[in-house]
Amino acid sequence: MAIIAFFCLPAYGHTNPTLEVVRELTKRNHQVVYFSFSPFQQRIEEAGARFINCDAELSMDKAGAMAANSDVGGSIKLLTDTTLALDKKICETLQALQPDCIVADSMAVWGKFAALKLGIPLISSTTTFAFNRYSAKIMKQSFGQLFSLICSMPQIRRQIRRLREHGYPVKNLLSILQNDDQTCTIVYTSREFQPYAETFSDRIQFVGPSLRQISTEAADARTAVYISLGTVNNQHPDFFRNCVEALRDYPGEVIMAVGTENQAAALEAPAHFTIRPQVDQLEVLQKAALFLTHGGMNSVNEGLYAEMPLILYPQTAEQGGVARRVVQLNAGILLEENSPAAIRRAVNQVLTNPVLKENAAAISRSFRQAGGAVRAAQLIEGWIQEKKN
């Protein structure tokens, strides 16, 4: 039996893919200890892990900002603040626990840095695309974004100095952001969907989405349109109103997850609309004919796993990169503007193009063949054994 410590960013899109892996590991009689925050406690404990609450050391306002912050300099400061706020609790708990390894989300750098500081074997858990100088090309940063990064470098260097002063061996910005080819890494997508997969070493393993298994509905029986902008950047009342207007005469069901009770209550829609703050996305995707999504990696993985052609309306640079990959593989289209006419055209285009559906199904097959949570658990066990030998 191994003792395994998990660390994750306080965001559903980062936490959810790890839960089935935790469930698989505990089923194999390993002890899993999971450092996270109170909104995620029930899900983590239901998966079989011991939950370590980090709320007292970090306010959830700041934790939520980490998931939403798109400025690199601001993000690095938030990550540094979090690492130093959690430093004492994490180090004392880990020294008492003596885990066989740490599995840390690639953005939960406090887990990664603790592993380096304390000499504990590290496994990176990557819920986005694996990131290096090649795959970064798909992000296509604008001149403004590059200028912002350059302007942020003095602040980034200050944060790196702060980390070093507390014993964290941080080299540079890339050592924080990119996937190290020598670090054992689980990536929750397939080699076929990962951009430039051939540029990564065999330490980077693509296991496909890690999803709970639910019953599926026959593809030809699906008629619903499903619309969601995720759990973070979802405050867009004009967008949701335009979706109602665009699909007022749609002959099937329209299901919308709009983020908040207030946003749901403000929408007046015909009877064929189901509008909720949140839904069970995996369940809804089993009866949908298409998915209009913000392009978050978790949502895209779930949609493609369900063989769903996508309409992509990205809200951040990262989501834009994911959306471009879907379009490259011709499994979806971009929504270029937020108007009822554009939304209506996009829905009609996807529903009448069988090639998009075929390509989404091909990606789904690559996801299923990659092994999912079972493969991830096998890799973790193998890497722990490798370190012991």
Instruction: Let me know whether 111 and 248 are in one domain.
Output: no
Give Cα separations from 286 to 169, 223, 303, 307, 387 (angstroms): 46, 10, 9, 9, 41
> What pTM, to 2 d.p., does this model score?
0.87
Residue 263: which residues within 8 A CB-CB, separation 6 or more? 234, 235, 237, 240, 277
Segment 19-48 shows an average pLDDT of 96
Instruction: Let me know whether 241 and 110 are in one domain.
Output: no
Residue 166 placed within a domain: yes
Predicted confidence band at 60 (pLDDT cuts at 50, 70, 90)?
very low
Flag whether pLDDT at 213 surpasses 80. Answer: no
The CATH number of whichever domain residue 93 belongs to comes to 3.40.50.2000
Residue 40 placed within a domain: yes
Instruction: Let me know whether 225 and 187 are in one domain.
Output: no
Predicted confidence band at 134 (pLDDT cuts at 50, 70, 90)?
confident
Q: Which domain holds residue 39?
A: 3-208+371-388
Instruction: Let me know whether 180 and 240 are in one domain.
Output: no
Task: Give the full edge-to-edge strand order of the sheet including 101-105.
Answer: 50-53, 31-36, 3-7, 101-105, 122-126, 184-187, 204-206
Instruction: Let me know whether 11 and 148 are in one domain.
Output: yes
pLDDT one-digit tens code per residue, 332-343: 999 989 999 999
Residue 252 placed within a domain: yes
pLDDT one-digit tens code per residue, 215-260: 555 555 688 999 999 877 667 889 999 999 999 999 999 999 998 8
DSSP of 100-154, one letter per residue? SEEEEETT-HHHHHHHHHHT--EEEEESS---STTGGGGG---HHHHHHHHHHHH
Instruction: Let me know whether 175 and 226 are in one domain.
Output: no
Indicate the DSSP class of residue 179: P
- Please count the structural domains in the chain: 2
The residue among 350 and 68 whose pLDDT is bigger is 350
